Amino acid sequence: MSTANISAKDVMALRQKTGLGMMDCKKALVEAEGDLATAETNLRAKLKGKMDERTDRAAGEGCIAVKYEGDKAAILEVRAETDFTARNEMFVAMANDVAGMSFDQPAGEISFDGKMTEMLDNVRITTNENVSFARGQRVDGKGFGRYVHHDGKLGVLVVFDGEIPEDVALGVAQHVAAHVPTPSAADADALPADLVSAKREEAEKEARDSGKPQEIAEKIAEGKMRKFFEEVTLLGQKYVRDESLQVRDILPKGVTVTSFIRMRVGEAGE
């Protein structure tokens, strides 16, 4: 079919579907003898091959997506080569769509399936960058809080064991994002047993070495452990919005935090 027989409407339709230039779309339609579906399939296959050759290029930018619905939630990281692409509405929308699609999977590490790969390839083809899925977690819960920083590079998902007001849930998620040090666990029970044991042994040794009577030394050791738990556990930390309160103080009666996930673009895990 000649170029003259290719309508501008079909060229524009193919351009909207692929994000490619008018000339590339017109050439693909000519080769496909005007068949829009065939032209799209051929273009994607051709361009995906070119993109696969670029997977060794550094993808140091990206965004975090956090989504929840009902009793399911997900948080994930998608990488790109440039900050320009990472902030692109199409890129961010794709990340959020993939997060939502993961609700069909069981709780745990997100498995990147065929449909998700197709969505990723669409963005790779359009942006001409090495776009990739970095990591993600799917969780179950009775209530959720989420926060994504304005640059999209830091995100938090908090899981609660009961219903919680949206503003309170957001506040807890913002606390996890902003507090220094970042909480290591929701509460003392969720801390690694070997860490607690080592810290307790250290506190007791310091108390004994102080030369204080046994009874006082034990109280000193307990005080050190209490301070340690307040510093490293989410529920024990001073709330970033109001340091006169601990995070546990802002939660509704009967509700607590069961877990939380904090992700920053480019970091292996937090």
pLDDT for position 220: 86
Using 50, 70 and 90 to split pLDDT, how confident is the model at 50? low
Q: What is the mean pLDDT of residues 221-247?
A: 95
Both tokens assigned to 220: 């000193």
Distance CA 184, CA 212 (A): 32
Strands (E), 17-118: 61-69, 72-80, 108-109
**pLDDT surpasses 60 at 18:** yes
Domain ranges of the chain: 3-52, 61-186+235-264, 192-232
Q: Are 77 and 265 in contact (CB under 8 A)?
A: yes
Length of the chain: 270
- What would the CATH number be for the domain defined by 61-186+235-264? 3.30.479.20
Mean pLDDT of 215-222: 84
More confident call, 34 vs 245: 245
Sheet harboring 154-160: ordered strands across? 143-148, 154-160, 257-264
Round the average pLDDT of the chain to a whole number and report it. 88
* 258 vs 28, more confident: 258
Give pLDDT, residue 57. Answer: 60
Q: Could you give the 3-state DSSP secondary structure of residue 161?
A: coil
Percent of the chain past pLDDT 90, that is, above it, reads 58
Taking residues 154-176, what's their average pLDDT? 96
Please report the pLDDT score of residue 270 as a whole number: 46
Q: How confident is the model at residue 168 (pLDDT cuts 50, 70, 90)?
A: very high
Q: One fold for both 3-52 and 61-186+235-264?
A: no
Q: Which CATH number fits domain 192-232: 2.60.120, 1.20.1740, 1.10.3470, 1.10.286?
A: 1.10.286
Overall average pLDDT of the 212-235 stretch: 89
Residue 241 confidence (pLDDT) above 60: yes
In the chain, which ranges are E strands? 61-69, 72-80, 108-109, 132-140, 143-148, 154-160, 238-239, 242-246, 257-264
For residues 211 and 83, the model is more confident at 83
Edge-first strand order for the sheet with 61-69 is: 61-69, 72-80, 132-140, 108-109
pLDDT tens across 102-114, in order?
A: 999 999 999 988 8
Instruction: Name the pLDDT band for 230 (thresholds 50, 70, 90).
Output: very high
The β-bridge partners of 237 are none
Q: How confident is the model at residue 214 (pLDDT cuts 50, 70, 90)?
A: confident
Q: Please give the pLDDT value at position 80.
A: 92
At residue 161 the predicted structure's pLDDT band, cuts being 50, 70 and 90, is very high
Mean pLDDT throughout 90-110?
96
The domain defined by 3-52 carries CATH number 1.10.8.10? yes
Half-sphere exposure of 103 (CA within 13 A, CB side): 14
- Residue of higher predicted confidence among 5 and 121: 121
| CB within 8 Å of 171: residues ≥ 6 apart | 145, 239, 241, 250
What mean pLDDT is predicted for residues 39-66?
72
Bridge partner list, 241: none
Q: Cβ(14)–Cβ(40) under 8 Å? A: yes
Calpha distance 53→46 (Å, rounded): 11
Label residue 125 by pLDDT band (50, 70, 90): confident
> What whole-number distance in Å separates Cα of residue 208 and Cα of residue 169?
42
